[in-house]
Chain A
Amino acid sequence: MTPLHAPTPSQTIGPFYGNALPFADGGEIAPRAHPDAITLHGYVYDGAAEPVPDALVEIWQPAPDGSRAGAHGSLRRDPATGRAAGRDGVTFTGFGRVPTDADGHWAVRTLPPGGVPYLSVALFARGLLHHLYTRAYLRDEPADRLLASLDAGRRATLLALPEPPRAYRFDMRLQGEGETVFLGFS
């Protein structure tokens, strides 16, 4: 067995990623005008219950058919000008990235994931030396291993609140009362 290489440590994303990481159509994961599209949105709050205006939210999820292969084209560039070209409006890449606005709000439009009830979320911000992982569950599923391992109060932080007809609200609280369940993978 090969000895494991020591990993490169994480550092904070800092406050000034805004001219670099967000990209055109970052939150438009669903193909354009797709009839099954849903909106997932929410606010990010800190431990003083203040909105976090400089967080970056990344989403990763399976396609509606359950495929986890992803696809190129989340952040297409125009080869002639080098400028952001936006998504092609057809391909489902499974990846989205949006910054929070001045109110700490973010939103993505996507398709419901196939095979699992959740979307994976990575949250980056100034003050976070390592990003945080969580999951936005679109429904409560008693058989889900993670949900089943949590008490009701903690479980509720992972359940996106349906806003009929086609939206879900998923707030994230970094610290303190109602603190979102954050995940570790090892």
Chain B
Amino acid sequence: MTPLPLPDGLTQQEMDAELAKAEEAARAPAAPTAPYHPPIAYPPYRSTHHRTPHAPLVAVRDPEAVELTGPVFGGTDVTALDHDLTRQHAGEPIGERITVTGRVLDRRGRPVRGQLVELWQANSAGRYAHRLDQHLAPLDPNFTGFGRCLTDDDGTYSFTTVRPGAYPWRNHINAWRPAHLHFSFFGTAFTQRLVTQMYFPGDPLLPHDPVLHSVTDEAARARLVAAYDHGLSVPEWSLGYRWDVVLDGPSATLTEEDHAR
């Protein structure tokens, strides 16, 4: 059943009540289990209304499926500086310099090696270098806000960038997105593909954001928030955050392991 769209012009307070209602519904005994991901339709995020399928997904359980393998990337696809978003222009971007690092694992905890990680974000004032972003915050001529790297043998990725600013959007009245980094990950299988967003600990906007709260399970939501890690902070240089990522979905290697048992 398609949920009804929410009316226009909700206040943040009314939106917060909708977030709580959706979370309550997801906790109900009749709710589907393992809510690791957002539901297909989530009315508080209003863009979902015309864009989410009505029919349930058709389950594919075919050991020969092409999707159990996936694209590969290598040294030609990434240059050594691509992971540093502060060194892509003649000057340095304005903002609080940060490093973000973590490991990419599959569900069995094995590192995803040599795979592509992509990062994109708003600048420190909360504006994307994208012509359709009309937020009245300054663009930074020294910041594009896009980086990429390959994971190492341990599954580790690492980026240097500036902390993005929060920015307004038109989901409801006076709606603001918390500061976030967009990430794209590839696993060993196309089924493990993940596009998601990383948030910053202690951000006062976290309780009010429908996109984050589309993950209705509190523990799952917490996995989108990085940890400040003082050990990763570089003296006189940058503040460090750690964010580990686990890719969902079956893959040829996971399936082989299941068959071997």
B54 and A176 contact, CB distance less than 8 A: yes
Interface residues of B in 23-61 (CB under 8 A from A): 36-40, 42, 45, 47-55, 57-61
* Chain A residues near B71 (CB-CB < 8 A): 60, 70, 74, 93-95
Chain A residues with Cβ under 8 A from B144's Cβ?
19
Interface stretch among B6-14, B128-136, B227-235? B128-136
Q: A60 to nearest B CB, angstroms?
A: 5
A positions within 8 Å CB-CB of B? 1-2, 4-21, 46-48, 50, 52, 58, 60-62, 68-79, 82, 88, 93-95, 113, 116, 118, 120, 122, 124-133, 145-146, 149-150, 154, 174-176, 179-186
- B201 at interface (Cβ–Cβ under 8 A)? no
Is B223 at the interface (CB under 8 A from chain A)?
A: yes
Contact flags B170-200 to A (C-beta < 8 A → 1, else 0): 0000000000001010000011011111000
Contacts of B38 in A (CB 8 A): 9-11, 129-130
Given contacts A9-B221, A74-B73, contact A79 B51 (CB under 8 A): no
The residues of B that contact A48 with a CB separation of less than 8 Å are: 50
- Asked if B161 is an interface residue, CB under 8 A from chain A, the answer is no
Chain A residues whose C-beta falls within 8 Å of the C-beta of B145 in the assembled complex: 19-20
- A111 shortest CB reach to chain B, Å: 14
A87–B72 Cα distance when bound, in Å, is 14
Q: Are A183 and B58 in contact (CB under 8 A)?
A: yes
Q: Which residues of A contact B72 (CB under 8 A)?
A: 69-72, 93
Residues of A with C-beta under 8 A to B68? 185
Knowing A18-B130, A113-B66, A122-B193 are in contact, say whether A127-B48 is a contact too (CB < 8 A): yes
Contact A15–B58 (Cβ < 8 Å):
no
In chain A, what residue has the closest Cβ to B104? A8
* Chain A interface main SS type: loop
Our pick among A77, A129, A154, A184 for the contact of B82 (Cβ within 8 Å) is A77
A46 and B51 contact, Cβ closer than 8 Å, known pairs A5-B246, A19-B120, A131-B193:
yes
**What interface size band does chain B fall in?**
35 or more
Chain B residues 213-261 with CB under 8 Å of chain A are 214-215, 219-221, 223-224, 245-250, 261
**Alpha-carbon distance between A42 and B68 when the two chains are bound, in angstroms:** 25
Known contacts A62-B66, A129-B214, A5 near B107 by CB under 8 Å: yes
Ranked nearest first, the 8 interchain pairs of A and B with the lowest CB-CB distance are A72-B74, A127-B47, A184-B57, A95-B71, A20-B120, A127-B51, A7-B248, A129-B38
A17-B120, A19-B145 known; A130+B40 contact, CB < 8 A: yes
> Shortest CB–CB separation between residue A38 and chain B, in angstroms?
17
Q: Which of B70, B80, B82 gathers most chain A CB within 10 Å?
A: B70
Interface residues in B131-155 (C-beta closer than 8 Å to A): 132-133, 144-146
Measured between alpha carbons, how far is A12 from B196 in the docked complex, in Å? 6
Which of B47, B132, B211, B246 sits near A7, CB closer than 8 Å? B246
- Main SS class of interface, B: loop
Complex: A183 Cα to B106 Cα, angstroms: 21
Q: Which residues of A contact B246 (CB under 8 A)?
A: 5-8
Question: B214 touching A82 by the CB < 8 A rule?
Answer: no
- In the complex, the answer to whether B249 meets A16 with C-beta atoms within 8 Å is no
Q: Are A16 and B130 in contact (CB under 8 A)?
A: yes
Residues of chain B lying within 8 A (CB to CB) of residue A174: 50-53
- Say yes or no: is B204 at the interface (Cβ < 8 Å to chain A): no
Some 26 contacts from A to B, beta carbons below 8 A apart, are A1-B261, A5-B108, A8-B224, A16-B122, A16-B133, A18-B130, A19-B144, A20-B119, A20-B120, A60-B190, A68-B66, A77-B77, A79-B80, A82-B81, A94-B71, A118-B66, A122-B193, A133-B57, A174-B52, A175-B50, A179-B54, A183-B58, A183-B59, A183-B67, A185-B60, A185-B65
Q: Are A4 and B107 in contact (CB under 8 A)?
A: yes
Instruction: A127 to B48: give the CA distance in the assembly, Å.
Output: 4
Contact A5 B109 (CB under 8 A): yes
